[in-house]
Chain A
Amino acid sequence: MEEQESGIIKKFIYVNRKAPHGTIYAHEALEVVLIAAAFEQDVALAFIDDGVYQLKKGQNTEGIATKNFTKTFGALDMYDVEKLYVEKESLEERGLTEDDLSVEVEVLASQDLKKLFNESEVFFNF
């Protein structure tokens, strides 16, 4: 935690472990990330387990008549949210690779993603 003129800055980590459309958690978690961008904190997103599916290319929700919120992941860099990490084991056990993902991420094995956890201060899970 550092104090700056504008206030406290903490390292936030959003842990995303749920698939995108069967429940609202992924969608509403992303809304938190967007609002949080205004607070100029140090933000990282970790996609683990089914959370990796949130970033999959080619999602089209027209047929299920829901909003395709996953398109917004592409706009995160406009909000200065650039630290997106995807767990390697979760991708692999789902038969996915980095090429299947719609945004630029860093793929890390859990032993490396663990370091991010150790550096983070505030953990949000949805």
Chain B
Amino acid sequence: MLHTINKSPFEKNSLTTCLRYAENGSSILFIEDAVYGCTKGTKFEEIIQENQENVKFYVLGPDLEARGLDNSNLITNIEIVDYKGFVKLVAENEKTQNWL
């Protein structure tokens, strides 16, 4: 299953709620303001790293770039994808839950 999160975890609890529902083997894609949650050194780093055993994290590259972020700012093992990658994730996963 694919989960997407679009709000910053500092603004809304969507990341925390999503993590309660992400099964082992699912994928989580950060888009829009949620990409801030992927950066190193935040209070969310630990919970993301803890979940990396079970869940694959992705982040939308153009949203990172728009916000002055790049690979060097990211928590390790979060894969950057573009919009085509976003589309592929949706196509490859039977279900998509968009946490707003």
Contacts and interface: CB of A to CB of B under 8 A. Distances in A.
A110 interface: yes
A77 interface: no
A117 B95 CA distance: 9
Interface residues on A, range: 10 to 19
Contacts of A117: 1, 21, 95, 97
Interface string A89-126: 10000000000000000000011011001101101011
B98 A125 contact: yes
A48 B17 contact: yes
- Determine the main DSSP class of B at the interface with A: mixed
Interface residues on B, range: 10 to 19
B1 A118 contact: yes
A118 B98 CA distance: 14
Contact of A114 (B20, B96, B98, B100): B20
Contacts of A110: 20-21
A15 B97 contact: yes
Interface string B1-31: 1000000000001100100110100000000
A82 interface: no
Nearest to A111: B20
